Amino acid sequence: MECQEARPLLLDYQRGQLTPARHDEVRAHLERCARCAREEAAERALTNLVERNLPQYPAPLALKRRLAAHWPAPGVARHSWWSGWRRALAPAVALAAVLVAGVSLLDIERVIWRPSDAPGALVTEAVNDHLRLLQSEHPLEIESGGIHQVKPWFAGRLDFAPIVGFEGDADFPLRGGAVGYFLDRKAAVFVYSRRLHSVSLFVFRADGLPWPTRGLQRIGGVDASVKVARGFSVILWRSGELGYALVSDLGSRELVELASKF
């Protein structure tokens, strides 16, 4: 297993969501690859620090990703084992020190990470989140038994109630759902399909995001942004306090057809 294959599986590896054979492959790779082992350990350390020890300030996944991106590369061979780990864990230690001092995680986010003000950031995030679902061996946390089974499953798992009016049909059946992240906030993920194509719908709180205001298209009574990025069609819209991102490798025309059903 190479690094580019192992890294997208690290979260599923930590959560125990890989098959036994796949789990052993990732573990074997981590034992021989210092860089991937450091990323896995750093991700685990931040998860323990922020999400478990401080449940009142749950760490957004986007924040942890950006922290990991700023950690230094592994030291040269002459450096000791501990010196490499000490540098890798320095951001987590600093984060703990700030929290002990009484600064809220929201203040830390403003210092360490600021979301881009460009509306294109939403398109990029939508495509990245869709790709992560495609790469996951267990993308669905609940298999579809219909929208009336999937929607209630999110109760207690999110800080909002997702509103999705489309139940799925013969052209776009609902496969199931999962809890995900969209930038700095949790999202309800509904997965539909169209022939052999997968379609992801992300529902999340809309406040504070750089929503596009130009070149909008009227779809089903709302003004939506329709874009194509890296071969994926992305439709963004907001309704009330909620935002929606619909993503697939379907053509824009077919995805607009699905968006109109919502």
CATH classification of 120-261, choosing from 3.20.20.450, 3.40.50.670, 3.30.200.100, 3.40.50.1370?
3.30.200.100
- Helix (H) / strand (E) containing 53: none
Q: What per-residue confidence (pLDDT) applies to 222?
A: 93
Tell me which amino acid residue 91 is: P
What is residue 172's DSSP assignment? S
* pLDDT one-digit tens code per residue, 4-28: 788 888 878 887 888 888 888 998 9
Domain boundaries, the chain: 33-112, 120-261
Q: What per-residue confidence (pLDDT) applies to 112?
A: 41
| Range picked from 16-25, 59-68, 87-96, 213-222 for highest mean pLDDT | 213-222
93-99 own/partner pairs: CB under 8 Å, 24+ apart? 95/46, 95/49, 95/50, 95/67, 96/49, 99/54, 99/57
* pLDDT one-digit tens code per residue, 87-143: 555 556 556 555 554 444 444 443 344 444 566 889 999 999 999 988 888 888 988
pLDDT band at 208 (very low <50, low <70, confident <90, very high): very high
Q: What per-residue confidence (pLDDT) applies to 92?
A: 61
Q: Rounded mean pLDDT of 233-254? A: 95
| Range picked from 26-40, 71-85, 228-242 for highest mean pLDDT | 228-242
Instruction: Name 158's Cβ contacts closer than 8 Å, sequence gap at least 6.
Output: 179, 186, 188
Question: Can you point out the beta strands (E) in the chain?
Answer: 142-143, 174-182, 185-194, 197-205, 217-219, 222-229, 232-239, 242-248
User: Residue 134's closest CA among 240, 249, 4?
Assistant: 249
User: Residue 196's closest CA among 175, 224, 180?
Assistant: 175
3-state SS, residue 31: helix
pLDDT > 90 in the chain, percent? 43
Higher pLDDT, 53 or 142: 142
Q: Taking 50 as the threshold, does the pLDDT of residue 261 lie above it?
A: yes
Residues paired with residue 239 on neighbouring β-strands, in sequence order: 242
Higher pLDDT, 56 or 233: 233
